[in-house]
Structures are given as structure tokens and as C-alpha cells.
Amino acid sequence: MTDLERRSDRSPVPADWTYAPAPESTDIVRLQERYGLYVGGTWIDTKEHFTTISPRDESPLAEVGQASEADVQGAVAAAREAFGAWSKLPGSERAKYLFRIARILAERSREFAVLESLNGGKPIKESRDVDLPLAAAHFFYYAGWADKLEYAYPNRSAKPLGVAGQIIPWNFPLLMLAWKIAPALAAGNTVVLKPAETTPLTALLFCDVVRQAELPPGVVNIVTGDGSTGAALVESDVDKIAFTGSTEVGKAIQRRLAGTGKKLTLELGGKAANIVFDDCALDQAVEGIVNGIYFNQGHVCCAGSRLFVQESIYEPVVEKLKKRMTTLRVGDPLDKNTDVGAINSRMQLEKIEELVAAGKEEGAEIYQPPCRLPEKGYWFAPTVFTNVAQSYRIAQEEIFGPVLSVLTFRTPDEAVEKANNTPYGLSAGVWTEKGSRILWMAERLRAGVVWANTFNRFDPTSPFGGYKESGFGREGGLHGMEPYLDFS
Ligand code: NDP
């Protein structure tokens, strides 16, 4: 008998079957006390700074620069200077740098994943298994197109635009950076990117990847700050703005840029319908519902936040869903077993609480599984509302948190009508075993992405973007490179 077998003979039977803590070590991350702005390949300091914290315990992580209008103009000037040489490089040379970035991201993925979870609050298993692989995949994918623009857009002469100003939100900080920077660089542009105020750290770590990849100075510039820094970037001498964030700010940017000749793409909010027909694989659909709304604490623009269940299966679906919700582990984002991490900021938590209170007041029935939330930090238990009317705020407004509203329908026509009854149009999900019904629904749903028998799947080759108040322009695939090119 081996030692191993002998020892296992004596192992005690566990007292209960809950998971033991499985904390991911943070040792791999080396934070600086203070960060400046990354401009023209060097770090420059700012007059003002702000503290970035971890939403899991509100502990301060680092001081980050608050870029002023002049700082932003300096970054745009550095990008403009770099544009000449960068845009003239053969595509195969630009590709080389993008491949290097992809490789370095893959090699340093654990470090990035830990930092993403620390600064943003998302579970480590999501930053490790979703954000990082996808971010690297975006650079790999667009690297492949950099020397093939004439094949990507045959009979059209594709030229880079110049300097792209890019403003990103806090829900997928590094992934949104990759979605923005990879196609812009592949197309021959240079960029100035502003990360969200609450999650600047992976963008700042990315500057070290840029250094390692020996990207020419000024091709990528990172300016940190609050909304005023974003507004300064919109005002600056850029050729294009790519924005992901709230519909409200997106509209303000669109108003500001109207008539200026600057190009604009907007990826805004959503209130996706996840539609479950009575012939679907029920357990699989319940997993899809859970993934659709509780993935990344529901901080997902395409989250399946409105669940439409065919009336005949309403009861089993709700029952299975509630049962499944009791098994979700809410807690420390850095625990490898955590399913639902911390809410990104106090502001976002207050917004979720306000909308949930409105749901209760309007008469919806709330269910939250029993779970012990940590004392420090920002937390919200996974929540489902039943008895929801279409007119309730929780069925109309983007909550951007782990809160699901359940509604019902009888016929496919009714499902389409109800699903499209929203100012948004970013994504939708359909659960049915009938291929013909999937196609019928997909044709009629006014949403940029329609998932069938799955939800929240992303791929760099696939375009993503919205209709109506969810914005315009696409990211991902060839469609995602087009807004960075001039075909005139
Ligand atoms: P914002 O739209 O305010 O933020 C998105 C980005 O824009 C951030 O980098 C932000 O900077 C910047 N920004 C803010 N004001 C301006 C401005 N006037 N001009 C240019 N850039 C600006 O979203 P919030 O973070 O405030 O979130 C509010 C709500 O928006 C959420 O509750 C959610 O409903 C929705 N949202 C949707 C997202 C999506 O992916 N569609 C992503 C994030 C939020 P800073 O962070 O410094 O404020």
C-alpha cells in the first residue's frame, strides 16, 4: 500500500459539504504607490490624484493620476506624432507588435486576472477564464488582419483615420481595452484611451505590456481620470471617438460631436430579453438564465435582465431557478469558488438598491437566496423578481446588477412584441429545441446579438453592438475594424 492510500484511509469525513476557502494569492501583483499617465512611451505625473480601491473591502490600492485638459491634449499630440510612422509601417510589422501583445497578455494572464478582480470585484474564475483569454484573443485576431486589409475590404482603399480617442467602462476593464485598442492599431491608427475611474489598474499594467512589446512610443497612450477627462478627450483633436458606457453619456457625446466630422461609435446600455419556450431543455435553460444575469454581478451591458418564460412552464422554471440560485456562492472575488463577486462601486450599489426598492414598491415579488454577505465592501445578493409588469422600472431600466425580472408570454408573436418593447436593442436569448423557431425569432428580435440556447458568449471574430439606444457601430470581427478606417 502506498503512503497516499494509507493517509487517505485516515482522512476524516468532512463535517459539512460547503466549500473550503480557496483564495487566489495576490503576491503576483506588484502595485506602485502612485501612477502617472502613459504618454509618448513614458510616465508623466499629474497635478492631482485620486485613490483607487478594491470594492471587496474598500481598501486603497494605489494613487492614480487625474488627467487635466492639458494632459489629454498632450497625449493626443503624442499619438498624432506617432501616427505618421506607425501608419506607414507595413501591415505585417504592425501585426508583429499585436502578436507580441497577445503573447505577453497570455503569459502574464494570472497577474492581470488577479489585478482585475482586486480592482473591479469580479470573481477570479471569470477574470481568469473569460476576460484574460478573450483579451489576448482579440489581439491575436486583429493581428491576423493587419496585413490583409485589401482582402478584408476588397476593391476598397482602406486608410487609417489618425488618432482614436477611446473611453471605456468599469465592467470589463481589460477586455474593453482590448476591444478598442486591437482593431484601432491593426488598422494603422494610434490611440489615447481613458479607463473608468474605478478600474484603472489593468490599463496601467497594460502600459508595461506595451513597453515589453517594444511598441513605438506614442502609439498607445493611457490617460486616467474621471468623467471630465473623458469629456476632454471628446473635445480634443482626435479623429474618432469610440465609447462604451451609459446611454446618457453616449447621447451627450453624440450631441457634442454632431457636425464636427469626427467619427463616432457608441456601445451603450441594454435590457436584454432572455426568452424561454416550453420545448427547451429546461435545466440547460436555467443555467443560461443564471449565466445571463449573474455573470459579472450583472454588470454586463448585454445581460439577460428580462426573462420571458412561456406561461405553460412558468412554475417549473421559477422553481428550478430559485433552487439553482441557492447554490450560487457570493463573496470574495479572489476566492476561486466564488460565483458572484463584489459590486464595482458604492455608487453602483446605491443605484441597484434604489431600483430594487422601486421594484418592491411597484408590487413585484422579490426572492433572494439565503447567503451571508461580507461585512466590508460592496455586495448585493442575487435577486429575482416575479409578478413583474412591463411598465415597472425594473422591467424598463438598466439595473446593471444581479437582478432579474421574470415576465411571461403565450405565443412567439407575443414574445417578440414584449421583448422589443424597450428603448434598448443590444442582445437577446432564445431557448427552444426548434431550429426554425430560432431563426424566426432572430429575424424579428431588434437586437444586435441573438444567442440561441446559450447566453453571454463572445468571440473576437463575431461583431457585437446595438440598435436604438444601445448605440451604433460594431466591435469584433471585420465589422469592428471598419469604424477605424477611411474608405473615401
Ligand atoms: P459612464 O457612461 O458614466 O462611464 C463610462 C465611461 O465614460 C467612463 O470611463 C467614464 O469616466 C466616462 N465618462 C463619464 N462622463 C463622461 C463625459 N461627460 N464625457 C466623456 N466620458 C465620460 O457610466 P457609469 O460608470 O457612470 O455607469 C452608470 C450606468 O451606466 C451604469 O449603472 C450602467 O447602467 C451603465 N453602464 C453601461 C455600460 C455598458 O457597457 N453599456 C458600462 C458601464 C455603465 P468615469 O469612470 O471616470 O466616470
The grid coordinates listed for 467 are 440598435
Q: How far is CA 45 from CA 17, 224, 246, 400, in A?
A: 51, 11, 29, 34
114 lines ligand 1 (CB under 6 A): no
Instruction: Please give the Cα distance from 327 to 294 (Å, whole number).
Output: 12
List phi, psi (to 5°) of 345: -155, 165
User: Nearest C-alpha to atom 16 of ligand 1 is from which residue?
Assistant: 227
197 lines ligand 1 (CB under 6 A): yes
Instruction: Please give the Cα distance from 159 to 144 (Å, whole number).
Output: 17
Q: How far is CA 356 from CA 274, 350, 360, 390, in A?
A: 20, 10, 6, 15
Using the atom order of ligand 1, give the atom closest to the CA of residue 348: 32
Beta bridge mates, 275? 308, 430
* pLDDT(3) > 60: no
User: Beta-carbon neighbour count of residue 168 at 10 Å?
Assistant: 27
38 burial type by CB count under 10 A (0-12 exposed, 13-18 middle, 19+ buried):
buried
With the most atoms of ligand 1 within 8 angstroms of its CB, the residue from 177, 246, 271 to mutate is 246
* pLDDT(142) > 90: yes
pLDDT at 6: 58
pLDDT at 213: 98
* pLDDT(262) > 80: yes
406-438 tens-digit pLDDT: 999 999 999 999 999 999 999 999 999 999 999
230 lines ligand 1 (CB under 6 A): yes
Mean pLDDT value across residues 121-143 = 98
Q: Identify the band that residue 9 occupies on the pLDDT scale cut at 50, 70 and 90.
A: low
User: Nearest C-alpha to atom 42 of ligand 1 is from which residue?
Assistant: 245
Percent of the chain with pLDDT over 90: 95
* pLDDT(2) > 70: no
Mean pLDDT value across residues 196-222 = 98
Q: Identify the band that residue 488 occupies on the pLDDT scale cut at 50, 70 and 90.
A: confident
* pLDDT(246) > 80: yes
Q: How far is CA 199 from CA 69, 161, 255, 365, in A?
A: 20, 28, 27, 34
Q: What's the gap in Å between 223 CA and the centre of ligand 1?
A: 15
Mean pLDDT value across residues 121-125 = 98
269-294 tens-digit pLDDT: 999 999 999 999 999 999 999 999 99
Polymer length in residues for the chain: 488
The grid coordinates listed for 382 are 442575487
Mean pLDDT of the chain: 96
Mean pLDDT value across residues 336-365 = 98
Q: What's the gap in Å between 192 CA and the centre of ligand 1?
A: 17
* Nearest alpha carbon to residue 207 among 199, 79, 215: 215
Q: What are the residue numbers of the active site?
A: 267, 301
252 lines ligand 1 (CB under 6 A): yes
Q: Identify the band that residue 230 occupies on the pLDDT scale cut at 50, 70 and 90.
A: very high
Q: Which of 15-24, 320-329, 461-470 has the lowest mean pLDDT?
A: 15-24
pLDDT at 325: 97
Name the 3-class secondary structure at 24.
Answer: coil
10-52 tens-digit pLDDT: 777 777 788 889 999 999 999 999 999 999 999 999 999 999 9
pLDDT at 421: 96
The H or E element spanning position 83 is: helix 69-88
345 lines ligand 1 (CB under 6 A): no
* pLDDT(209) > 70: yes
pLDDT at 14: 75
The grid coordinates listed for 477 are 470581427
Q: Identify the band that residue 5 occupies on the pLDDT scale cut at 50, 70 and 90.
A: low
User: Nearest C-alpha to atom 26 of ligand 1 is from which residue?
Assistant: 246
DSSP secondary structure code for residue 364 in this structure:
P
Q: How far is CA 308 from CA 96, 289, 434, in A?
A: 46, 10, 17
165-181 tens-digit pLDDT: 999 999 999 999 999 99
For residues 358, 198, 166, 333, the Cα torsion angle rounded to the nearest 10 degrees is -90
* pLDDT(215) > 90: yes
Q: What's the gap in Å between 413 CA and the centre of ligand 1?
A: 35
* Nearest alpha carbon to residue 189 among 225, 170, 166, 164: 164
Instruction: Please give the Cα distance from 345 to 76 (Å, whole number).
Output: 29
Which residues, including other chains, have CB under 8 Å from residue 374's CB and lie 6 or more apart?
56, 57, 331, 332
Instruction: Please give the Cα distance from 131 to 153 (Å, whole number).
Output: 29
* pLDDT(7) > 70: no
Q: What's the gap in Å between 273 CA and the centre of ligand 1?
A: 23
Beta bridge mates, 452? 430
The grid coordinates listed for 398 are 438598466
* Nearest alpha carbon to residue 98 among 32, 147, 65: 147
The grid coordinates listed for 474 are 460594431
Mean pLDDT value across residues 435-454 = 98
The answer to whether residues 132 and 456 touch, using CB atoms and an 8 Å cutoff, is no
pLDDT at 13: 79
